[in-house]
Structure 1
Amino acid sequence: MPKSILCSNRDEYLSRPTEFAHFHSFETQGHLRHGILQDQQPGQRPTQHSQYSNTVVLSGIDVQAGGTWLGLAKTGKLALLTNITEDTTLNFPQSRGHLVASFLATPPSSLTGLTDIEQYLRGLVGPSDLTDEGRARYAGFNLLLLSPRVTFVSYEAYLATNRGASGQITYRPLTHAERQYGGLSNGSDGYGGKEWVKVKKGLEILRTVVKVAEDSNMDHDKIIEELFELLTWTSPTPPTSRAELCNTIQVDPILFPENTDGNKLAQQPKGYYATRLATVILVKRTGEVVFIERDRWMLPDEAKSNAERKQGSEWSGDRSRQGEERGERKPVLASTLSSATQRVYRFKLDM
């Protein structure tokens, strides 16, 4: 059995420009400047800063706003972001994807007695919550941060959240029970988020997968397929509104009028919202990693272009998803039988 397992879906508008998972540096791609992620101006050369230049990250990239929703640094640091489901008319100056990217790109702690996570979180909370005008920087979010201890035998794990739009950012270490089997979704920590149907169902399936794997000495490939199967669980009653997304792990396409999460950078025209990507990450005690990102729902133009893509880090053509919905084009479900619909990375962390 691997030491650590993480499986996650990314639910998003299918027309939102996105780069698939690949090794990169946020800095060299122009997404990181002075430790803060910003949009790069057309034709502008990315600013170089030596303290970030050696930070190698495996993640996708949100082309529209910068940052990412899930990423793993070669040092072993891992971060996962979920939005909090809410209705708000407020506007926020910074994308939540910046939180993941800035943590992964932050150099090791130089402060005596502080871990990498503690150093990052101390800089995140407090006055930095607000802009110079006194406005909150981020719409509602949950942020899971993991950092390996010296021997890679265990991970330090924290949850940071603002519990909704304009809320104060707080953080706490995960409990012992959460470190064994934890579930994170789009509810507020301490306010019923753990009671969501999708969270409870996901944890139920995960416990079963792990127990069977331990009892039968299941190989890693089989474990991976079982975890991807978990991520495809759908509610017997398909959701038709944002409020009902709490009842299903995989979101089948829903036609929403717009993104109303309060983030100007995230505003979208009318279009389909669904589970776009599923990701499974296994980390062994030796620091060996298996990272697989698999397509789920996509627009027809994407499905056609994916047939030209190769598995893993070998590519033909552009990595980004640039398609926009036209008329009544219907989303299609990616075929899991084709290597063109997934990216597979096997490597060892820098220990």
Structure 2
Amino acid sequence: MCIAVFLWQSHPLYPFLLFLNRDEYHNRATEALRWWEDGETVGGRDLVGGGTWLGCTRHGRLAFLTNFREASSFPDAKSRGDLPIRYLQSRKSPAEFAEEIQDEISLYNGFNLVVAHVLSKSMIYITNRPPHGHKLATQVSPGIHVLSNANLDSPWPKCLRLRECFQQLLAENGSREFPVKTMVEEVMTNTVKDEETELPHVFTPETEYHLSSIFVDMQRPTGRYGTRSISAISIKSHGDGDGDGEVCFYERHLEEGTSWKEHNQQFVIIQCI
């Protein structure tokens, strides 16, 4: 499932800040945060479908994905996790990439995809489940946004809680450097759940109740399910002409369903020549 909150192009020091929880079955083979074989891309990998839910590159490309909560799905659909990888490994702008995949998004189960290029200050939200009358792809405006398993900025209670906590932390830290690790732990481990009347009622009430917290941990008929990783990407403005920011990618990853381990990668964004 997943839930993410992010700040885009609206802070004097941080052009981008993202906190994201990935929810998945505990027995699904997953690779923790690392540099990939191309030497350009960093992120975790789903070893079953081969895709990713969150990644970025040395050249300022970013992509993250959530599933769209719906009652039924197609077992033979294409893997949604391929979409972030395709963008990260392409040379297309976010808008060009959105245009490229327009004719094939019906081949996937419901998804929300955000693709961005920090150097060009461009971010696009793409979904194959848009609200009636809305476009499949739209520019993301500067500011704070929350993405869960409905459309971007849908007012689910867990999304509103996450936005409020995130805004409070931003206000407390002002324009100075953020204690990102402390911040992400504070907001992304919240286990408060919703009242039944507040649930979206896509699944059974019991399932919806357990999925209604920011941090999820539950037993489902097919196995233990919940938050497998807690990630944060912060990009701090560099301002010296050499690049466009220091990237810190932090992940707390559940190893083999029993222990949490931390992973960190840091680099400076470089211009493509």
TM-score by length of 1: 0.64
Task: Please say if 1:122 is aligned against 2:92.
Answer: no
Aligned partner letter, 1:213: N
> What are the equivalent positions in structure 2 for 1:1-351 lying under 5 Å apart?
1-25=13-37, 56-107=40-91, 109=92, 116-126=93-103, 128-129=104-105, 136-150=106-120, 155-163=121-129, 170-175=136-141, 179-189=142-152, 194-214=154-174, 217=176, 219-220=177-178, 222-236=179-193, 241-244=206-209, 247-252=212-217, 254-257=218-221, 270-286=222-238, 287-296=245-254, 299-300=257-258, 303=259, 334=260, 341-351=261-271
Count of aligned pairs between the two proteins: 242
Q: Sort the Cα spacing of 1:298 and 1:202 in 2 relative to 1 into closer, same or farther, 3 A.
A: farther
Range 180-189 or range 288-297, more displaced: 288-297
C-alpha change, 1:345 and 1:273, in structure 2 (3 Å) is same
Q: As a proportion of its length, which structure holds more strand?
A: 2
Deviations for 1:256-315, whole angstroms, at most 9, x for unmatched residues? 12xxxxxxxxxxxx1100101000111011211111001258523xx3xxxxxxxxxxxx
The separation in 1 between residues aligned to 2:230 and 2:269, in whole angstroms, is 22
Provide the secondary structure at the position in 2 that maps to 1:93.
coil
Q: CA deviation at 1:246?
A: 5.5
> How far did residue 223 of structure 1 move?
3.4
| Contact 1:85 1:243 (8 Å CA) reproduced | no
SS in 2 for 1:195: coil
Bigger CA radius of gyration: 1
- Residue of structure 2 equivalent to 1:321: none
Maintained 8 Å contact 1:276/1:298:
no
1:33 paired residue number: none
| Change beyond 3 A, Cα 1:223–1:63 | closer
Unaligned runs of 5+ in 1: 26-53, 110-115, 130-135, 258-269, 304-333, 335-340
RMSD: 2.4
Instruction: State the Cα distance separating 1:224 from its structure 2 match.
Output: 2.7
For 1:298 and 1:9, the matched residues in 2 are separated by 17
1:82-118 C-alpha deviation (Å, 9 max, x unpaired): 00111215323311000111000112x4xxxxxx111
Q: How many percent identity over aligned positions?
A: 26
Shift of 1:55: 6.6
Mapped to 2, the partners of 1:79 and 1:70 lie a distance apart of 6
2: distance between equivalents of 1:104 and 1:3?
19
Which TM-score applies when normalising by structure 2? 0.81
What is the CA–CA distance in structure 2 between the aligned matches of 1:169 and 1:21, rounded to whole Å? 33
Q: Distance in 1 between matches of 2:95 and 2:193?
A: 42
For residue 238 of structure 1, report the CA deviation from its aligned partner. Answer: 9.6
Shift of 1:180: 0.9
